[in-house]
């Protein structure tokens, strides 16, 4: 579904991503691991259109999306979450979800006002969808809570919920387990698995929690120094000598 071809990106003299090639297969939950500074987040930024690569190409479903802006990728069904969630803290959880489709449609206030009847109907549908998403995420009891008051793990779930409000096909998750307590971690793992199995979402996730990677991901890709070091099952990656060295040498 996503193909990364010989992508490089330098910041000043530092090669953050260097001649990197990899694939995320349709329907997979692909894990992306590697020591700090390996270039994982930069690669996500490039795939999701936030950072333009110096060279190389990104394909989505065979279509060249190199340099395509995030909001357009959003329309094409590719979205990313951030290591640190970007919620609107003074809006409620439900309102945070309801914002997403409006942003996706690029609706302006004037056009909405001119078609207020249709928009009203649409708003009801969006609210229903938000409630359905909150049920799925087991966050229904927090629908009217201010998003800023959620715990770290609940914010990560809300981030996933925002992906569900779109017609996303591929979701890039940057450390969905970081700073999340055990109970909520299990809930996040279960949510990702169900979205993959029941709703056909493809995921690529960066994670340091190896238990989470082992539980969810196949294949696992290990990056180091801007490029792919190894790809395989978690078992194969664990046994890989170059991978061990990359982690030890860090």
Which residues of this chain interact with ligand ADP, rule CB under 6 A? 11, 14, 16, 34, 36-42
Q: In terms of residues, how long is the chain?
A: 250
Q: Which does 85 bind (CB under 5 to 8 A by kind): Mg ion, ligand ADP, none?
A: none
x-or-dash string of contact with Mg ion, 83-122, rule CB under 5 A: ----------------------------------------
Q: Which does 16 bind (CB under 5 to 8 A by kind): ligand ADP, Mg ion, none?
A: ligand ADP
Q: Which does 31 bind (CB under 5 to 8 A by kind): Mg ion, ligand ADP, none?
A: none
State the nearest-atom distance from the C-beta of 60 to ligand ADP, in Å. Answer: 20
Our finding on whether 41 is near Mg ion (CB under 5 A) is yes
State the nearest-atom distance from the C-beta of 49 to ligand ADP, in Å. Answer: 15
State the nearest-atom distance from the C-beta of 115 to ligand ADP, in Å. Answer: 41
- The total of other beta-carbon atoms located within 10 Å of residue 110's CB is 8
Closer to ligand ADP by Cβ: residue 45 or 101: 45
Q: Which does 232 bind (CB under 5 to 8 A by kind): Mg ion, ligand ADP, none?
A: none
The two structure tokens encoding residue 111: 């056009």
Cα(189)–Cα(177) distance, rounded to whole angstroms?
9
- C-alpha distances (whole Å) from 129 to each of 52, 136, 245 are 34, 11, 47
State the nearest-atom distance from the C-beta of 176 to Mg ion, in Å. Answer: 12
- C-alpha distances (whole Å) from 176 to each of 110, 120, 159 are 37, 34, 9
State the nearest-atom distance from the C-beta of 55 to ligand ADP, in Å. Answer: 16
Q: Which does 39 bind (CB under 5 to 8 A by kind): ligand ADP, Mg ion, none?
A: ligand ADP
State the nearest-atom distance from the C-beta of 14 to ligand ADP, in Å. Answer: 6
Q: Which part of the chain contacts Mg ion (CB under 5 A), choosing from 40-48, 88-96, 106-114, 209-217?
A: 40-48
State the nearest-atom distance from the C-beta of 207 to Mg ion, in Å. Answer: 10
Closer to ligand ADP by Cβ: residue 16 or 164: 16
Closer to Mg ion by Cβ: residue 97 or 205: 205
Q: Which does 14 bind (CB under 5 to 8 A by kind): ligand ADP, Mg ion, none?
A: ligand ADP
Cα(70)–Cα(5) distance, rounded to whole angstroms?
19
Contacts with Mg ion by CB under 5 A lie at: 41
């Amino acid at each position: 579904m996503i193909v990364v071809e010989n992508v490089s990106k330098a910041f000043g003299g530092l090669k953050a991503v260097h001649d990197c090639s990899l694939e995320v297969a349709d329907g997979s939950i692909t894990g992306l691991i590697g020591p700090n500074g390996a270039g994982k987040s930069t690669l996500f930024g490039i795939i999701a259109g936030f950072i333009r690569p110096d060279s190389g190409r990104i394909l989505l479903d065979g279509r060249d999306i190199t340099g395509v802006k995030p909001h357009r990728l959003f329309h094409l069904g590719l979205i990313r979450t951030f290591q640190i969630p970007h919620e609107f803290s003074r809006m409620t959880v439900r309102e945070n979800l309801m914002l997403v489709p409006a942003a996706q449609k690029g609706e302006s206030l004037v056009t909405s006002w001119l078609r207020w009847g249709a928009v009203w109907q649409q708003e009801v549908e969006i609210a229903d969808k938000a409630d359905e998403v909150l049920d799925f995420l087991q966050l229904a009891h927090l629908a009217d809570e201010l998003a800023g008051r959620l715990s770290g793990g609940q914010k990560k779930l809300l981030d996933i919920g925002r992906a569900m409000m779109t017609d996303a096909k591929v979701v890039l998750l940057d450390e969905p387990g970081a700073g999340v307590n055990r109970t909520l971690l299990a809930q996040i793992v279960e949510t990702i698995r169900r979205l993959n199995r029941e709703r056909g979402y493809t995921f690529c996730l960066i994670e340091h929690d190896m238990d989470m990677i082992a539980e969810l991901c196949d294949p696992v890709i290990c990056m180091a120094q801007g490029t792919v070091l190894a790809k395989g099952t978690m078992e194969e990656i664990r046994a890989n000598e170059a991978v061990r060295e990359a982690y030890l040498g860090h």
